[in-house]
Amino acid sequence: MQKPESSDAAATGDLAVRVRGVTKEFGSGGSLTRALRGVDLDVPYGEMLMLVGPSGCGKTTLVSIVAGTLQPTAGEVTVLGLDLVAMGNGRKVRFRRDNVGFVFQAFNLLPALSAAENAAVPLLIAGWRRADAIEVASEILETLGLGDRLTNLPSELSGGQQQRVAIARALVHEPRILVCDEPTSALDAENGRITMELIERIAVQPGRAVIVVTHDARVYSFADRIASMEDGRIVSIEAGPHNSTDAAVPR
């Protein structure tokens, strides 16, 4: 059954992400791992939510489900008003292509492509002409301060520069959900701060939502809200330091 998207959107209102009772189990029998044990989470549009907690508590699993790369074992997941659990595989691929930007801890740039080509990849996946895609990607890289590194390969860039290319790639197609998994943990303090500033400046906008997984306390200050996880559950959600200064975002 295919519901019209508008009715879904009405059901979730101002929420970019709505997660209810989500569980995720890996393996079976003796080797069963309960990565998520019933998670409820709402992320309104215009918000940067940080997901924190000890290693192995299920942060990556949760954002993978929200980003549509992983299917939950049970529960409801509605993103941008679309029911991800019921969504077929082909539609999910297109959902990710059109709506999701990814920033990974390991950058995951294509080593054979230049910075501009890497940043252009989501547009190329969406079927843009190569020259157009690279032009748009180059513009973003320029705003990220990499205007003189467009033709460099990732191996010729520093870690901070690579992560900025990854951010350009995550944002080039103007996705409405940005998912960042430990974007700063491979970077030094200075580059980590620059990275978070860029994400905040470009990605946090009305009609969009950003989820950042981190255990880097230095970047907590950028959060509107901080959700703490433990052992597959969200144990607390607090307003972040950033919250008080951002009155435009509805709570």
Partner 1 sequence: MLWIAWKMLIGNRVKYLGIVFGVVFAALLIAQQASTFCGLMLLTISQIRDAAGPDIWVMDRKVQFVDDIKPLSDTELFRVKGVPGVEWAVRFFKGIARARLEEGSYEQVILLGLDDATLVGAPQGIFMGSIADLRKPDAVIIDDAGYKRIWPGEPYRIGRTFEMNDHRAVLVGITTASRTFQSFPIIYTRYSQAVRFAPPERKVLSFVLAEPAAGVPSAEVCRRIEAQTGLQALTHDQFIWKTIDYYLAKTGIPVNFGITVFLGFLVGTAIAGQTFYLFTVENIRQFGALKAMGTSNWTILLMVLSQAVQVGVVGYGIGVGLAALFGLSTRGLVRLAFYMPWQVLAITAAAVFAIVLLASLLSIRRVLVVDPAIVFRG
Residues of this chain that bind partner 1 (CB under 8 A): 60, 63-64, 67, 69-70, 90, 93-98, 100, 102, 104-106, 108, 110-113, 117, 121-122, 124-126, 130, 181
* Residue 121 interacting partner from Mg ion, ligand ADP, partner 1, none (CB closer than 5 to 8 Å by kind): partner 1
Q: Residues 29-58: x/- map of binding to ligand ADP (CB under 6 A)?
A: ----x-x-----------------x-xxxx
**Amino acid letter, 145:** G
Does residue 60 bind Mg ion (CB under 5 A)?
A: yes
Cβ closest to ligand ADP, residue 33 vs residue 151: 33
Cβ closest to ligand ADP, residue 58 vs residue 122: 58
Q: Minimum distance between the CB of residue 174 and ligand ADP, rounded to whole angstroms?
A: 27
Q: What is the 3-state secondary structure (H, E, C) of 120-176?
A: HHHHHHCCCCHHHHHHHHHHHHHHCCCCCCCCCCHHHCCHHHHHHHHHHHHHCCCCC
Does residue 61 bind ligand ADP (CB under 6 A)?
A: yes
Cβ closest to ligand ADP, residue 39 vs residue 170: 39
Q: Minimum distance between the CB of residue 39 and ligand ADP, rounded to whole angstroms?
A: 11
**Residue reference for tokens 């748009």:** 136
Does residue 26 bind ligand ADP (CB under 6 A)?
A: yes
Cβ closest to ligand ADP, residue 165 vs residue 179: 179
How far apart are alpha carbons 195 and 187 in whole angstroms?
9
* Residue 184 interacting partner from ligand ADP, partner 1, Mg ion, none (CB closer than 5 to 8 Å by kind): none
**Amino acid letter, 242:** H
Cβ closest to ligand ADP, residue 60 vs residue 99: 60
Q: Minimum distance between the CB of residue 220 and partner 1, rounded to whole angstroms?
A: 21
Q: Minimum distance between the CB of residue 55 and ligand ADP, rounded to whole angstroms?
A: 4
CB within 8 Å of 91: residues ≥ 6 apart: none
How far apart are alpha carbons 89 and 118 in whole angstroms?
25
Does residue 156 bind ligand ADP (CB under 6 A)?
A: no
Cβ closest to ligand ADP, residue 62 vs residue 133: 62
- Which residue ranges make up the site for Mg ion (CB under 5 A)? 60
Using CB under 6 A, list all residues that contact ligand ADP. Answer: 26-27, 33, 35, 53, 55-61
